[in-house]
């Protein structure tokens, strides 16, 4: 009997905690909510695209049975301008060998050219798997892309296929923002 009473009390407490977790938040108060830094995605890809065909003036080339298979790990974060600018500066400095002043000039010019005016930015990042004492085979987090056949015209004859193994995106960052 005591176990039954204890279970009933536990159930009542759990229900009340669940209800409080589902409390609605006014839009004005939502900006004050914090605690989640971003979203992480781990995917085991098994994608098949029947065909990708390019046609121009009646002639065509088709890439048939495109497969994307393997693991992919990514994070998605929303960055403010204060976080975005240093991240892009660091990438420009690393890629171009520029000092901070030159990198800042490149980033400013790129921002003007693409319509960035200081708005928040969505960052898609593909982290490096394994670091320090933890090591991992990078191929465990890289997909393979295959194209079973490539055909031209409408005769269906194939002149081969393509395989791209270990498409390593680790360390890659993609930034996306809206503009007018």
CB 167 within 8 A of CB 160: no
SS3 at position 101: helix
Q: What are phi and psi of 6, to 5 degrees?
A: -60, -45
What pLDDT was estimated at residue 68? 92
Count CA atoms closer than 13 A to 46's CA, side-chain side.
Answer: 1
DSSP H or E segment with residue 148: strand 144-152
Query: Which whole number is the average pLDDT over 20-48?
Result: 69
- Helical packing angle, 100-114 and 81-96, nearest 10°: 120
What pLDDT was estimated at residue 17? 46
- Cα–Cα distance measured from residue 109 to residue 86, given in angstroms and rounded to the nearest whole number: 15
Greater confidence (31 vs 126) lies with: 126
What pLDDT was estimated at residue 149? 92
Query: Which whole number is the average pLDDT over 39-44?
Result: 84
pLDDT of 50-61, one tens digit each? 999 999 888 889
Using DSSP bridges, classify how beta strands 173-176 and 130-131 pair: parallel, antiparallel or unpaired. unpaired
pLDDT of 152-171, one tens digit each? 887 777 888 999 988 888 88
* Cα angle 71, 72, 76; round to 5: 155
pLDDT of 75-133, one tens digit each? 899 989 888 888 888 888 888 888 888 988 988 888 888 888 888 989 898 887 766 55
Q: Is the pLDDT of residue 20 over 50?
A: no
pTM, 2 dp: 0.58
- Cα–Cα distance measured from residue 7 to residue 28, given in angstroms and rounded to the nearest whole number: 39
What pLDDT was estimated at residue 49? 95
Q: Is the pLDDT of residue 1 over 80?
A: no
- Cα–Cα distance measured from residue 71 to residue 94, given in angstroms and rounded to the nearest whole number: 27
What pLDDT was estimated at residue 150? 92
Query: How far, in Å, are 64, 75, 125, 128 from residue 39 at the CA level?
Result: 33, 6, 10, 16
- The CB-based long-range contact list for 15-19 (8 Å cut-off, 24+ gap) reads none
Q: Is the pLDDT of residue 23 over 80?
A: no
- Cα–Cα distance measured from residue 85 to residue 92, given in angstroms and rounded to the nearest whole number: 11
Q: Is the pLDDT of residue 11 over 70?
A: no
List CB contacts of 103: < 8 A, sequence separation 6 or more: 89, 90, 92, 93, 96
């Amino acid at each position: 009997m005591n176990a039954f009473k204890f279970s009933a009390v536990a159930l009542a407490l759990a229900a009340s905690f669940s209800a409080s977790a589902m409390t609605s938040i006014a839009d004005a108060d939502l900006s004050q909510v914090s605690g989640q830094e971003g979203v992480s995605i781990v995917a085991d890809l098994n994608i098949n695209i029947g065909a990708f065909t390019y046609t121009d003036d009646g002639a065509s080339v088709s890439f048939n049975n495109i497969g994307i298979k393997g693991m992919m790990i990514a994070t998605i974060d929303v960055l403010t301008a204060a976080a975005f600018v240093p991240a892009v500066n660091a990438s420009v400095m690393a890629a171009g060998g520029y000092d901070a002043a030159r990198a800042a000039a490149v980033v400013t010019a790129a921002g003007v050219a693409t319509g960035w005016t200081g708005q928040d930015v969505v960052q898609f990042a593909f982290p490096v798997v394994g670091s320090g004492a933890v090591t991992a085979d990078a191929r465990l987090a890289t997909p393979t892309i295959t194209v079973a056949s490539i055909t031209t015209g409408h005769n269906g004859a194939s002149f081969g296929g393509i395989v791209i193994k270990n498409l390593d995106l680790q360390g890659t960052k993609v930034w996306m923002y809206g503009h007018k």
